[in-house]
């Protein structure tokens, strides 16, 4: 039987990275879950984490861990379900590598996720997008970078990590205008660029000293922007975009909101949902279909095509009862 350390190492290095080809963000999510779980098991067993054995990873401890997440740590049901999904994947791998743990893995697999309301899909209306770009500064050393960053986020609907890793060699600005994005599952996809986006990106190129492997967006210290740096830029420029009282119930604007905004904008323009799925890099069409349920303009257009009945006008095909049909009554009387 392999020990816990060997199993964990193989799970990350061989299964998640080599076999499944997960991106660093997804691997960090698995890492955080297992770090919390192993620390909880070591604490409950009153032994150092380095002395844990595979039998310590019982299904009962998974149940206790999930309960601790909600009761002690005060996590939401969605967080609990996310941790459980990661543990489901880990225990499937554990059973495959150590058949003697199959029974425990089956019990973990039987732990159901809890029902919870789907997360709110927040997006910006077209008027809000226009207001944002009008408010962006045009002067300053970082004004061009920030404007190009927002234009690229809205143009491509890219994930924040995809934008952070975008290099000069990944964009074609001489035609056809396009960007190659490295997304989840180690998959690449191509997104077309607007001429306005390409023009802004071209202006950024002289600062990269002709190095095609250089990242497109850098910080004030000329270091590659991280996903957290992009998040701070978006928060800073959108802080006053929703200051009205009616918008207090809506959360702050993150880079992912622009991804939702792109999807809704494409849908409202009548773009086929399969094109939107490929545009955003969704694996399942179900993920893309949810945007059809959140756009108000789409619902209003549907209502307009199905008008209510006009109760004040007469029907073009008036209905008369059989008692008013003289020929029918005469025929019935002759029977």
Q: Are residues 64 and 186 in the same domain?
A: no
Q: What is the model's pLDDT at position 207?
A: 56
Cis peptide before 314 (omega within 30 of 0): no
Among the three residues 74, 109, 144, which one is the final residue of a domain in this structure?
Answer: 109
Q: What is the model's pLDDT at position 235?
A: 93
Q: Are residues 148 and 214 in the same domain?
A: yes
- Classified as helix, coil or strand, 34 is helix
Domain that holds residue 12: 4-109
Residues 65-79 have pLDDT tens digits of: 999 999 999 999 999
Cβ burial, residue 186 (10 Å; 0-12/13-18/19+): exposed
**293 occurs within a structural domain:** yes
Q: Are residues 69 and 176 in the same domain?
A: no
Domains contained in the chain, number: 2
Cβ distance 109 to 88 under 8 Å?
yes
**315 occurs within a structural domain:** no
**332 occurs within a structural domain:** no
Q: Which residues of 74-98 are buried (b: 16+ CB within 10 A; e: fewer)?
A: ebeeeebbbbbebbebbbebbbebb
Cβ distance 181 to 191 under 8 Å?
yes
Q: Are residues 35 and 105 in the same domain?
A: yes
Cβ distance 11 to 93 under 8 Å?
yes
Q: Which residues of the chain have pLDDT under 50?
A: 245-249, 302-303, 305, 307, 311-313, 315-317
Q: What is the model's pLDDT at position 283?
A: 73
Q: Give the CA distances from residue 262 to residues 32, 122, 128, 279, in Å, rounded to whole numbers and listed in that order.
A: 30, 11, 13, 10
**20 occurs within a structural domain:** yes
**136 occurs within a structural domain:** yes
Q: Are residues 34 and 137 in the same domain?
A: no
Q: Are residues 150 and 104 in the same domain?
A: no
**Residues labelled catalytic:** 159, 184, 256, 259, 282, 291
Which residues are registered as beta bridge partners of 191? 179
Q: What is the model's pLDDT at position 245?
A: 46
Q: Are residues 140 and 255 in the same domain?
A: yes
**pTM as predicted:** 0.69
Q: Give the CA distances from residue 119 to residues 27, 124, 167, in Å, rounded to whole numbers and listed in that order.
A: 22, 16, 32
Closest CA to 257 of 75, 119, 144: 119
Q: Are residues 29 and 160 in the same domain?
A: no
Q: What is the model's pLDDT at position 222?
A: 87
Q: Are residues 150 and 249 in the same domain?
A: yes
Q: Are residues 160 and 102 in the same domain?
A: no
Q: Are residues 242 and 135 in the same domain?
A: yes
Q: Are residues 90 and 194 in the same domain?
A: no
**Upper half-sphere CA count for residue 58 (Cβ side, 13 Å):** 7
**115 occurs within a structural domain:** no
CATH number at residue 173: 1.10.443.10
Q: What is the model's pLDDT at position 120?
A: 75
Cβ distance 186 to 26 under 8 Å?
no
Among the three residues 80, 109, 138, which one is the final residue of a domain in this structure?
Answer: 109
**57 occurs within a structural domain:** yes
**200 occurs within a structural domain:** yes
């Amino acid at each position: 039987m392999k020990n816990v350390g060997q199993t964990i190492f193989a799970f990350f290095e061989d299964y998640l990275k080599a076999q499944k080809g997960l991106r660093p963000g997804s691997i960090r999510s698995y890492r955080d879950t297992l770090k919390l779980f192993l620390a909880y098991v070591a604490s409950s067993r009153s032994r150092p984490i380095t002395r844990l054995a595979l039998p310590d990873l019982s299904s009962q401890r998974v149940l206790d861990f999930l309960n601790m997440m909600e009761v002690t740590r005060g996590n939401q049901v969605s967080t609990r379900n996310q941790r459980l999904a990661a543990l489901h994947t880990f225990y499937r791998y554990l059973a495959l590598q150590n058949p003697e743990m199959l029974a425990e893995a089956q019990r973990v697999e039987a732990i159901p996720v809890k029902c919870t309301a789907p997360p709110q899909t927040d997006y910006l209306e077209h008027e809000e997008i226009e207001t944002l770009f009008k408010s962006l500064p045009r002067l300053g050393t970082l004004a061009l970078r920030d404007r190009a960053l927002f234009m690229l986020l809205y143009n491509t609907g890219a994930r924040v990590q995809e934008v952070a890793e975008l290099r000069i060699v990944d964009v074609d600005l001489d035609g056809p205008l396009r960007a190659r994005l490295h997304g989840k599952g180690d998959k690449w996809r191509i997104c077309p660029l607007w001429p306005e986006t390409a023009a802004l990106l071209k202006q950024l190129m002289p600062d990269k000293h002709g190095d095609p492997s250089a990242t497109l967006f850098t910080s004030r210290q000329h270091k590659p922007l991280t996903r957290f740096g992009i998040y701070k830029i978006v928060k800073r420029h959108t802080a006053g975009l929703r200051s009205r009282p009616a918008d207090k119930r809506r959360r702050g604007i993150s880079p992912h909101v622009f991804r939702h905004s792109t999807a809704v904008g494409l849908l409202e323009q009548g773009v086929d949902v399969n094109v939107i799925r490929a545009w955003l890099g969704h694996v399942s069409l179900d993920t893309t279909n949810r945007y059809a349920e959140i756009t108000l303009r789409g619902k209003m257009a549907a209502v307009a095509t199905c008008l209510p009945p006009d109760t004040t006008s007469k029907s073009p095909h008036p209905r008369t009862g059989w008692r008013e049909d003289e020929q029918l009554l005469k025929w019935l009387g002759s029977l």
